[in-house]
Amino acid sequence: MIRPAGEHGLLVETGSLEMSHRLDAALRDAPPGGVVEIVPGPETVLVVAPGADRERLRARLASLAEDVREGAGPAAREGRVVTIPVVYDGADLESVARLAGIPVDEVISRHTGRELTVGWLGFAPGFAYLTGLDPVLRTPRLETPRTSVPAGSVAVAGPYSAVYPSASPGGWRLLGRTSTRVWDVTADPPALLLPGVRVRFERVSGA
Amino acid sequence: MIEVVAPGPYATVQDLGRPGLAHLGVPCSGAADAPGLRLANRLVGNPEGLAAVELTYGTARLRFLDGAWVALAGAPVTSEAGMGAPFWVPAGGELRFGPPAWGLRTYVAVRGGIAVEPVLGSRSTDSLSGLGPEPLRAGTLLPVGPPQGEIATDLAPPPPPRPAVLRLVPGPRDDWFVPGAPAALCARPYRVTQDSNRVGVRLRGPELVRARQGELPSEGMVLGAVQVPPSGQPIVFLADHPPTGGYPVIAVVRDADIPVAAQLRPGDEVRFTLRSHH
- Are the C-beta atoms of residues B248 and B176 closer than 8 Å to each other? yes
Distances (CA, A) of B179 to A8, B82, B173, B183, B250: 25, 49, 12, 8, 11
ipTM: 0.95
Sign of the alpha-carbon dihedral angle for B15, B20, B26, B28 = positive
Distance from CA of A70 to the nearest CA of B (A): 23
> Cβ separation of A41 and B219 shorter than 8 Å?
yes
List the domain boundaries for chain A.
2-69, 81-203
Q: Report the DSSP pairing between strands B165-170 and A37-40.
A: unpaired
> Cβ separation of B23 and A4 shorter than 8 Å?
no
Fold of A2-69: Gyrase A; domain 2 (3.30.1360)
- Tens of pLDDT, residues B208-234: 999 998 889 999 999 999 999 999 999
Residue in chain B lying closest to A168 (CA) = B129
Asked if the C-beta of B231 comes within 8 angstroms of chain A's C-beta atoms, the answer is no
Query: How far separated are the first and last CA of chain A, in Å rounded?
Result: 52
Contacts B253 to A, Cβ<8 Å: 6
> Cβ separation of B130 and A122 shorter than 8 Å?
no
pLDDT of the residue at A76 = 56
Residue in chain B lying closest to A194 (CA) = B24
Count of CB atoms situated within 10 Å of the CB of B88: 12
Domains of chain B and CATH, by start = 2-142 (no CATH), 165-274 (2.40.100.10)
Domain at A81-203, CATH class: mainly beta
A74: pLDDT strictly greater than 80: no
Averaged confidence pLDDT in chain B: 95
Contacts B220 to A, Cβ<8 Å: 5, 9, 11, 37, 39-41, 44-46, 48
Asked if the C-beta of A5 comes within 8 angstroms of chain B's C-beta atoms, the answer is yes
pLDDT of the residue at B158 = 78
- Tens of pLDDT, residues A83-94: 999 999 999 999
How many residues are given for chain B? 278
- Tens of pLDDT, residues B49-92: 999 999 999 999 999 999 999 999 999 999 999 898 999 999 99
* pTM of the entire predicted model: 0.94
Burial of A23 (0-12, 13-18, 19+ CB in 10 A): buried
Write the CB contacts of B34 (distance below 8 Å, at least 6 apart in sequence): B16, B239, B258, B259
B172: pLDDT strictly greater than 80: yes
- Are the C-beta atoms of residues A180 and A84 closer than 8 Å to each other? yes
> Cβ separation of B217 and A42 shorter than 8 Å?
yes
Nearest to A44 among B131, B219, B222 (CB): B219
Residue in chain A lying closest to B26 (CA) = A125
A80: pLDDT strictly greater than 90: no
Asked if the C-beta of A160 comes within 8 angstroms of chain B's C-beta atoms, the answer is no
Contacts B129 to A, Cβ<8 Å: 124-125
